[in-house]
Amino acid sequence: MRVLVLALLLATPAPAQGDPPPPTLPRSVEVAMKVERDGTLSVVEVVSVPAGRPMVRAIPLRVPAGAAHERRVTIRDVVLEGAGHAELTGTHLTARLTRPSTLRYTVEGAVTGDGRVHWQPAGGWDTDLELVRGSIAAPRVSTGVACTVAGTMPCHAARIDHTGLTRFSHRDLAAGQRMELTVALPAGTVPPTARLVPARTLAGAFLLTPTAAWGWAGLAALLLGLAGWLCLPVARRTDPERLRRAGLRVMAYGVFLTVLLALTTGHAQLGLALLTAGAALVAAERVAARRPPAPSP
């Protein structure tokens, strides 16, 4: 589903209480974030847009969380004050700004089970930023903060000040680079909201998910049934060649399904389970071929 949020074309209203101040430098962003008691993250971005030089920011709704997982978030309550528009799709929130603007939204899925808040306060911009600066508040004072740019480079500043606010800043953020912020909260401060899904990588494709586990459980039941069938006299009257052809056909389906799921949904282990089932049928053919034929009635 696609939601289009049109900006107010009138003069930008005065900042609401708690909003960050407007940036003093061109192509800069001031960010204010707050971890709510229900685990959602409220975000306000105040952007300085030079006259005649529009700026675009694309916020992904799936971000890497290791080699095999991605963190999937939901963004809602999008409001853009200024000139431009914001578009929310199934994969991104995209804001196109033509003059100084304020972007507000709420994030669900930023808090992990160990009490860490993960978010990208800046990134996905189509232009270099001179300065990114911001803060994040929470119901309790955070116990640690990590801020990186482009995955490994530390931000210029990230600290917890005397008031308990976590502050961060970075100069000269290149177009496309992402600033990633992780804030550790005391245990039990807010409920976890993060949702991990298999990453669209080779490691993620073969991750054991609940769906894949059901596939393997079905395979185990099939193998038990096949073993029991081979012990019955009726198995002696089965044409081994038909059994072999059926097994090869199932194996081919398994190979196709493994490749298809690895490239799409990521549940490639379902294909592996089907491939294993086909191999079991081929093995059953060999067992049936070695058994003496059943006596004629």
pLDDT the model gives residue 214 = 65
Neighbours of 228 (CB within 10 A): 10
Q: Which residues in the chain come in under a pLDDT of 70? A: 1-18, 64-69, 197-240, 243, 261-271, 281, 284-297
How far is the C-alpha of 246 from the C-alpha of 56, rounded, in Å? 55
* Alpha carbon of residue 161 to chain centroid: 31
pLDDT the model gives residue 279 = 76
* Alpha carbon of residue 276 to chain centroid: 30
The model's pLDDT over 142-188, given as tens digits with 9 standing for 90+, comes to 999 999 998 889 999 999 998 889 999 999 999 999 999 999 999 99
How far is the C-alpha of 266 from the C-alpha of 36, rounded, in Å? 33
Domains of the chain, residue spans? 3-195, 202-290
Residues near 254 by Cβ (< 8 Å), separated by ≥ 6? 271, 272, 273, 274, 275, 276, 277, 278
pLDDT the model gives residue 201 = 55
pLDDT the model gives residue 277 = 73
pLDDT the model gives residue 255 = 77
* Alpha carbon of residue 75 to chain centroid: 13
How far is the C-alpha of 132 from the C-alpha of 119, rounded, in Å? 14
How far is the C-alpha of 133 from the C-alpha of 281, rounded, in Å? 62
pLDDT the model gives residue 3 = 45
Cβ contact 95:56 at 8 Å: yes
How far is the C-alpha of 228 from the C-alpha of 211, rounded, in Å? 26
pTM comes to 0.67
* Alpha carbon of residue 67 to chain centroid: 12
**CATH class as words, domain 3-195:** mainly beta
pLDDT the model gives residue 48 = 95
pLDDT the model gives residue 8 = 36
Cβ contact 157:168 at 8 Å: yes
